[in-house]
Amino acid sequence: ARTVQRGADGVVTVGGIRVTALAEEFGTPAYFLDEEDFRARCRAWAHAFGKDADVFYAGKAFLSKAVVKWLKEEGLNLDVCSGGELSTALAAGMPAERIAFHGNNKSADEITRAIGAGVGRIVLDSFQEIARVAHTARELGVVQPVQIRVTVGVEAHTHEFIATAHEDQKFGIAVGDGSAAEAVRRALGHDSLELLGLHSHIGSQIFDMAGFEVSAKRVVRLLAAVRDEHGVELPEIDLGGGLGIAYTSGDDPSEPQDIAKSLHEIVTRECESAGLRVPRISVEPGRAIVGPTAFTLYEVGTIKPLEGLRTYVSVDGGMSDNIRTALYDAEYSIALVSRTSDAEPVLVRVVGKHCESGDIVVKDAFLPADLAPGDLLAVPATGAYCRSMASNYNHALRPPVVAVRDGAARVIVRRETEEDLLRLDLG
């Protein structure tokens, strides 16, 4: 978050509010999101891509009604990938035509609801889905705008579970073996579908621009092949999300202007050489917008020094509010924020309170030797894929998300209560 500062007394403030006051008012663990930073990042993306492009925020990173309202006000569109995300978007008043609906296994109900709501595009992910969406649109008497998600065969250099454009995975329709060309044939053959263009998403937390460039090139080449075969120039391409953010000081992310510039250049160059009109480009950043805007605040509980091994510092959350360390070996940093300390920094492992030894918050952290129960620790860059992947493991109560702006803090997603848990349990 951009408005984080350490005050003269050593207490960190966010948006002008002391974290000690935040902990007192909202409890820990909790996510604190800098609303001004979120809005600034939306504007940076919209500005970088300009009027001839569209930015769709990927709701899977973190979605709530307040977020939808901010997106709406900042002129962004929204990518949703489930009926639940669609409901949140519509409930918060996102115009349906600004929503893209994704998913590799959309249910019949989701397809019907998306078409019925009038979403701006459905991104088709398989041959079966082309037929299903075409059928449902026909039944509802509408012509549904769609894109086809293609897999361009790029190996994005990221964790295997979040790389998505190599061929052996569940998303999209392969370009390499002619399947994507066949998908285009089928989509064009349905009167109830309006094929807007092609979509490619190559993975997530990517720093190397080369993958995006190869992907853009291959998508444009497919546009040219479509023009050659069918005599139609599809008006849109979507190049997905995936831009990495800094979790630790070793990460060096690109700025939206750089990615916009390089994508525009590649697409323009490829289109010129193929004699194509330049299509309207869209992108779907999730992490790059919301990730850096929030941090998680924890309170230190038990500290257990293991002679000759290491010290385990336990906090009051863990894998239920941030599964990414356990799931992807993700790296985070952590800092003491409720005071300063002159004590020497020592290497510790920060762990959660769950009944599992993989419940690690930060594997190797340097924290002051005088760290004590009651101290507050903050983990930065937890805005993306933390609250949205949070669980009730061990019947943990999922933490609130608190938006901070201009010296005011407001709960946008409240903390779960034990009544919330018991309400679902019918005995």
Among 285, 317, 399, 400, binds ligand LLP (CB under 6 A): 285
CA-closest candidate to residue 114, choices 64, 78, 61: 78
Q: Does 284 bind ligand LLP (CB under 6 A)?
A: yes
Alpha-carbon gap, residue 318 to 411, rounded angstroms: 21
Q: Which of these ranges, 65-73, 107-115, 284-292, 417-425, lies near ligand LLP under the rule CB under 6 A?
A: 284-292
Task: Judge whether 354 and 322 are in contact, CB under 8 Å.
Answer: no
Q: Give the footprint of ligand LLP on residues 379-408 (CB under 6 A).
A: 384-385
Position among 41, 218, 324, 353 found at the interface with ligand LLP (CB under 6 A): 324
DSSP code of residue 380: E
Site for ligand LLP in 85-104 (CB under 6 A): 102
Q: Least distance (Å) from ligand LLP to the CB of residue 65?
A: 20
Shortest Cβ distance from residue 384 to ligand LLP (Å)?
6
Residue 10 CA to residue 339 CA, distance in Å, equals: 5
Nearest distance from residue 169's CB to ligand LLP, in Å? 11
To the nearest whole angstrom, how small is the minimum distance from the Cβ of residue 157 to ligand LLP?
13
Euclidean distance between CA atoms 361 and 171, whole angstroms: 30
CB-CB neighbours of 407 under 10 Å: 10
Nearer to ligand LLP, 292 or 400 (CB): 292
Closest residue by Cα to residue 332 from 383, 390, 391, 256: 383
Is 288 a binding residue for ligand LLP by CB under 6 A? The answer is: yes
DSSP lists the bridge partners of residue 351 as 314, 360
Q: Considering the rule CB under 6 A, would residue 145 count as an interface residue with ligand LLP?
A: no
Active-site amino acid positions: 355
The three-class DSSP label of residue 213 is: helix
- Asked whether position 83 contacts ligand LLP by CB under 6 A, the answer is no
The 10 Å Cβ neighbour count of residue 200 is 27
Q: Interface residues for ligand LLP in 153-192 (CB under 6 A)?
A: 162
Nearest by Cα to 305 from 367, 356, 355: 367
ω into 29 cis (within 30 of 0): yes
Task: Candidates 4-12, 46-54, 139-147, 201-209: pick the segment binding ligand LLP (CB under 6 A).
Answer: 201-209
Are the C-beta atoms of residues 346 and 370 closer than 8 Å to each other?
A: no
Provide the annotated binding site for pyridoxal 5'-phosphate.
242, 284-287, 385
Provide the binding-site residues for ligand LLP, judged by CB under 6 A: 58, 60-61, 79, 102, 162, 201, 204-205, 240-243, 284-288, 324, 328, 384-385
